[in-house]
Amino acid sequence: MSDRLFKRGATWYCWVFDANGKRIQKSTRCRDRKAAEAVARELERRAADPAYAASNQTTLESALQNLIRDRTLKARAQGTLEMLRVKGGHLTRILGAGLPLAQVDAKAVDAFVDRRIEEGAARNTIHKELSTLRGALKVAKRRGEYTRDVAAVMPDGFATEYKPRERYLSVSEAQGLLAELTPDRAARVAFMLATSARWNESELAQLGDVDLPGGVVLLRGTKTEGSRRAVPIVGWARPLLEHAVRYAEGQGGRLFRPWGNVRRDLHEACERAGITPVSPNDLRRTCATWLRQGGVEPHLIAAMLGHTDSRMVERVYGRLPVESLGRALRERLGEPERLPEDCSVFATDAGDSEGSVGPGGQPREPFFAGFSVPRDGIEPPTRGFSILCSTN
C-alpha cells in the first residue's frame, strides 16, 4: 500500500483499482501517513467491491425512503405508509438520518433498542420499529446496497409483551358517556359505536355517507385495503346513527366538526360519568363486542371491522366477555337442576365394579345419558338501544 501513496503539498493521495482493474487516483484528505494508509485501504475496498461501496454511500434515511417506495408500488394502504414514516422517524432520530447502511450492524440495532426502552417506549412499539428497519434493510439488500445478513443483524425473538386491551362499554356506560359530551361529540361517539369506525374514518365521514333508508353506511378508511367499506345498519346501530345524523355539526360536507384532543376529552367525560376511561379504539372494540355478545360469528364481525380474516377479532376486538361466555354455554348446554351428591357418577366404569351400580345393587344410569346438544346459535338481543343524553 505504501507504494500507492504520494503527497501533494501536505495532503496524501493514493492509487486504487476498481472492479475492472482500472487505476483511479483518490485523495485521502489526510496529512498523517498512517491515517492516509487506513483511508487508502477503505477506498481500495470500495473501488473493488461495488456492493460494499453502495452500502457506504446509501444512508439510513434513503433506505427508509426506498422502503416506502417499494410498499407504494405494492399498493399498500395510506395508513400503512404513514405508519412506516412514523416508525422510520424514530430510527433516523436515534441512529442518524445520514448513517451509512454499512454501519447498521447488530451493535447499532441493540443500541437503538436500549435507547427506546430507556425512553419508555412500549415493547410492541419497538417491535414495529424493528420491523420497519428489517423491511428497509431487505429492500436495500435486493438493490445491492446492503451486504450484511439481515437476519444476523436484527434481534432474535424480541419479546413484545403485547397484551390486547379488553375495555369496552356496556350499554349503560355508553349512555352515560354520551350524556357528558357536547352534541357534536356525542354524535361522533354514537357513529363509531354503530359502525365500528376507526377515528380517522370518523374524521373523513360525510353526511351523505349515512343512508338510513337504504340501511348502509360508507366508511372512508385508508389504513388497510379493506378499510374503505360499506357496513349495514342493523339492530342497535339504527338509533345510534339516527342520533348521530340529527346532532352532527360538521361543515363543508363533513359529518362532524374537528375534535382536537380526543383522548383527553373522552377521559374527562368518562370521569364525569363515573366510568373507566375509554380511548377511540375502545369505541370500535365496543361495537365488535356487542356484536359478539349478540351471537354474531367472528368472520362476520371481521367484515364489519374491515379485516381480511377473523384472527384480529378473535384475539383483540371480538373476544367474548366471561359473563357472555357463561351465558352462551348455559344456553347451549343447559344446566342440570341439581348436581348429584355422589360425585363418583362422573366416572363411568365399563366393568361390574362398585362404581357401576347404585344403592341396592341396581345399575346406575350414566350421568350423561340422554344428553343432547341444543341447536347452535345465540339469538341476538331484540331490545332497542335508547340514547339517554343531554342532547335529547
Q: Which of 6-20, 195-209, 303-317 comes out lowest in average pLDDT?
A: 303-317
Q: 256: pLDDT confidence band, cut at 50, 70 and 90?
A: very high
| Section 316-322 average pLDDT | 61
Q: What is the pLDDT of residue 226?
A: 76
Q: Which residues contact 74 (CB under 8 A, 6 or more apart)?
A: none
Q: Is the pLDDT of residue 201 over 80?
A: yes
**pTM attached to this predicted model:** 0.56
pLDDT tier, 378 (very low <50, low <70, confident <90, very high otherwise): very low
Q: Quickly state the pLDDT bin for 49 (edges 50, 70, 90).
A: low
End-to-end Cα, the chain, rounded Å: 87
Residue 321: predicted pLDDT = 63
Instruction: Look at residue 391 and tell me whether its pLDDT is greater than 90.
Output: no
**Burial of residue 360, with CB atoms counted within 10 A of its CB: 0-12 exposed, 13-18 middle, 19 or more buried:** exposed
Least confident of 5-9, 159-163, 387-391: 387-391
For residue 183, pLDDT over 70 is answered with: yes
Dist CA 256 CA 259 (whole Å)? 8
Q: How confident is the model at residue 382 (pLDDT cuts 50, 70, 90)?
A: very low
Asked if pLDDT for residue 337 goes beyond 90, the answer is: no
Distances from the Cα of 325 to the Cα of 87, 137, 303, 322, 392, angstroms: 38, 45, 22, 5, 34
List where CATH 1.10.150.130 sits in the chain. 60-153
Q: Tell me, what's the pLDDT at 368?
A: 33
Residue 206 has pLDDT above 60, yes or no: yes
Predicted pLDDT at 221: 87
Report the CATH number of the 171-324 domain.
1.10.443.10
Provide the pLDDT for residue 352: 47
Banded pLDDT at 344 (limits 50, 70, 90): very low
DSSP state of 75: T
Single out the residue of 276, 240, 266 nearest to residue 391, CA to CA: 240
Nearest to 181 by CA among 283, 288, 285: 283
pLDDT of residue 348: 43
Q: What is the pLDDT of residue 244?
A: 95
Q: Which residues of the chain are in CATH 1.10.443.10 domains?
A: 171-324
pLDDT beyond 70 at 167: yes
Angle at 387 between CA 326 and CA 183, to 5 degrees: 130
Residues near 214 by beta carbon (within 8 Å), at least 6 away in sequence: none
Q: CA-CA distance, 183 to 247, in Å (whole number)?
A: 6
Q: Cell numbers at residue 154, please?
A: 436484527
Give residue 355's pLDDT.
46
The tens digit of pLDDT for each residue in 279-294 reads: 999 999 999 889 888 8
pLDDT digits (tens, 9 = 90+) for 74-128: 888 788 899 999 999 999 999 999 998 888 999 999 999 999 999 998 888 999 9
Cα 130 to Cα 71: distance, rounded to the nearest angstrom: 16
How high is the pLDDT of residue 350? Answer: 44
Architecture per CATH, 60-153: Orthogonal Bundle (1.10)
Residue among 266, 321, 268 at smallest CA distance from 291: 321
More confident residue, 171 or 44: 171
- Averaged pLDDT of the chain: 80
